[in-house]
Amino acid sequence: MSAQVFKKFAIYQIYLIMVYYVMSLFSLFSIGFIIGLTGAMAPGPLLTITIGSSAKQGGIVGPLVVLGHGILELALLALIVFGVANFLNNQMIFSGIAFLGGLVLVYMGYNIIRGLKNYNLSVSDSGKKAGMHPVITGIIVSISNPYWFIWWITIGMGYVMFARNLGMAGILAFFIGHILSDLVWYSFISYGVQFGGRYLNLKVIKIILFVCSLFLITFGISFIIKGYGFIR
């Protein structure tokens, strides 16, 4: 084999490797997006609180809640990558998260219901700043949900371990796809609530908020019961 032919063959092999690498990254991104979208669309406390807050603070709530949620997920992802998240498999840790998280969700739901009497559709600066910041809400609601931990230390950890074969780029491809699905769905929901709110009267919005709060309290009680059951 001449030097020129060998050079062309080597370039072709490098090209095939690069194509395979890019396609693998795209596959991880797609998997992260599809799995994340499935989870985001499922009813849960984060979706409930987003709907309730968007009616008051506008469509920006969705992206900001996802930002808080993403910060927490990025931190947990780092723990998984560096192999220090195994402690989350501990039954007592799960029980504590479920019990305390349930209390937080119940309080959030109760607080929304308590404020319905004086609720209005004002979008003044003071109104937008009232209550907990959406980024903080995204962090607290996420960490209050024990099933979020379960997802990451089972399904999420499995895909992260697979993605590590492609290095940091593989892990980032999976994570970006995952968090992008949350951003797309929650932005769609929050802006839908904002613009849809123009055609809803105050009474209808209060009913929606009340129902969302009941769901939030139901999620919280469910977490408390499960946490208490594990402790027993």
The identity of residue 48, as a single letter, is: T
Long-range pairs of 109-113 with CB within 8 A, sequence gap ≥ 24:
109/213, 109/214, 109/215, 109/216, 109/217, 109/220, 110/213, 110/217, 112/52, 112/209, 112/212, 112/213, 112/216, 113/210, 113/213
pLDDT tens-digit series, residues 147-185:
787 778 767 776 777 787 788 888 899 999 999 999 998
Confidence of residue 18 (pLDDT cuts 50, 70, 90): low
Mean residue pLDDT of the chain comes to 76
Evaluate if residue 101 carries a pLDDT over 80: no
Question: Mean pLDDT lowest for which of 110-114, 131-135, 165-169, 201-205?
Answer: 201-205
- What is the structure's pLDDT at 71? 94
Domain ranges, ordered by start, for the chain: 3-231
Q: What is the mean pLDDT of residues 55-71?
A: 90
Q: What is the mean pLDDT of residues 47-61?
A: 84
Question: Mean pLDDT lowest for which of 2-11, 16-25, 45-54, 157-166?
Answer: 2-11
Evaluate if residue 127 carries a pLDDT over 50: no
